[in-house]
Structure 1
Amino acid sequence: YFSEKICKDPKFITGGATRTDICQGQLGDCWLLAAIASLTLHEDTLKRVVPHDQDFDRGYAGIFHFQFWQHNKWMDVVVDDRLPCVRSNLVFVHSADNTEFWSALLEKAYAKLNGSYESLKGGSTMEAMEDFTGGVCEMYETKNAPTNLFLILKKAVERGSMLGCSIDITSSAESEAQTTTGLVKGHAYSITGVEEVNYRGSKVQLIHVRNPWGQVEWNGPWSDNSREWNTIDSSEKTRLLHNSLDDGEFWMEFGDFKANYDKIEICNLTADSLSDDVRKKWEVNLFEGNWIRGSTAGGCRNYIDTFWTNPQFKLRLDHPDDGDKLCSVIVALLQKNRRRLRKEGLDMETIGFAIYEAPDDQDHQGKDFFRYNGSKVRSRSYVNMREVSERFRLPPGNYLLVPTTFQPHHEADFLIRIFSENKAGDKAISARELQHVLNNVLSRRKEVKFDGLTLNTCHSIINLMDVDNTGMLEFEEFKVFWEKLKKWIVSYRLIHLLIISTFELDCSVFL
């Protein structure tokens, strides 16, 4: 057993899961460890990924389980307690407390999910954050940010998003070096609040930042004991400065924040990852599909002769943002299973997407449409990352989304997620929507013994009926399936009656 090999009295978690439990080993997966460190700041989310009701004592069976989001579903990953060691010392991630092992076991489970420890070399923190939350991530550079960045952050906080920020370093020597203003370079902070206050007759935008160390704070304007707090309403001061100790949390004026920090990462969460007390939640639409050589792998717009063969997805934006004329949407294109496929010599494809105004109700636009019509918006560039995501503001209307690899004839499976402030419509149904419809309908049929369709069964139905490879059932495809389903039910009833009649006949002959 584990305790006999590495440690005499091992513990799963000691004194809570904190960032000091995450010390990098000899594997180049700092991107993963940074995401785990951010995860420790969000207790409810952490407990979903790392269930706390397991340890090395009560009912210990030599295994541990963890949960990760993969391609629109949560997966339970079980690992044994054998960890790579050299002379009883862990080779990869480990805790500063050598009796604590949750972080090492979490890393092993994530390696299993992706095929091997080797597959974890190199990556983006946002990739791991999505696998821990099921959310969609965005990254902003504060020195080149959109003019409405403060509003984006304010709405993100209202929606329970996970937000982080950091200061760039120019060399490893600057890592976690402290500035004269109390900020730390190359260090992951979280953003926990966004407010506007009345200050000397005008509005001031403030942002609340947390240092996971629990100490070392900003000492400039609007810091805990600065004079700015003495000139605002006392109730506002009490509400915002509820704890002015050296607890690692502090306020900054938004202009100072942008001047000092370089990057902001937002992980927008879906409804199933949020608590019920979060009132405003993103609406989410999903599409799945494949780029297939000679069929739907048309490449980017540079290859006009094949571009039109790429999968095309309809999107309808009906409802502008509250108090606005435009609709905010985040579009994220994710290529599936690419880390796992590394061992077969297949790495990340270079991917991107374009969105066109849809002129009519045709199911699929041909070459001439794309020859003579430019895109309304598109991803900023084609990149060889697992996911490309962009935020847009578009007028209400009908749109056509075209995801592509850069080169034609390159094969991959993909998932598209569209986050919108208000519900966005589409003219197709996903596997989850199909599951809901069929379970409601079939459960009412008394002649059919029915325990419910699984999501995998519904994916199989869509794969069978999805003629245009969009990963969803368009209206016409659904009509064909519905007619077939009615015939299958009739056939099932006839076969069932035939079996009963045959059985009764056999019994009468026997008697």
Structure 2
Amino acid sequence: MHTIGFAIYEVPQQFQGQRDVHLDKNFFLTHAQTAKSETFINLREVSSRFKLPPGEYLIVPSTFDPHLNGDFCIRVFSEKQTETLPCDDPVSAELSDEVVSDEDVDSGFRNLFSKLAGADMEISAYELRTIMNKIVAKRTDIKTDGFSLDTCRIMVNLMDDSGNGKLGLGEFATLWKKVQRYLSIYKQNDMDNSGMMSTPEMRVAFKDAGGCVYVVFIHLE
């Protein structure tokens, strides 16, 4: 069960009326979302209600984490007549193995984990929030209000292969590896060194992070 959500984009005027719309990644980097799901969440179903003007739109479901494959079933309920078609363009991604097993963790990180996790040798969302906020509080090059408990719960859900709601040694090491990677991408694309990301910077950062999306075309009368 991956953490999932979706976004809705309005089809550009030059593509309206076509049934074989093909929009590359540059479109998603340069066009704002018309609407989106309230949150990305680790559930089997995500639903939202929107009021949109007549037109043609793309519904783009995706996983929260990049480079994950998944099958999506999309249902559209409308008060007005609609026509819905899938966009069958092939989607592919080069998947990199970022999973760290317990055996791959070095002794230094293992000792650090023991101190952070405590007697049960697992890290809960509450403990993760404390750890992450202590880390970012020491960073003067990043502006942040810190990690909320909900954010840390999502992070735990993403990494929790055992399903017990906590992170073991390998799971935490995998999360830490991902955090370091995204932090590096963030810093590389913070071109003005403001500690924050502008919309153009975020577009490039999102491109660097990679991703895999699935598209559905909908026409609203």
TM above 0.5, yes or no, is no
Higher helix share: 2
Q: Which has the larger radius of gyration?
A: 1
Structure of greater relative contact order (alpha carbons < 8 Å, 6+ residues apart): 2
What's the TM-score, normalizing by structure 2? 0.33
Structure with the higher fraction of residues in strand conformation:
1
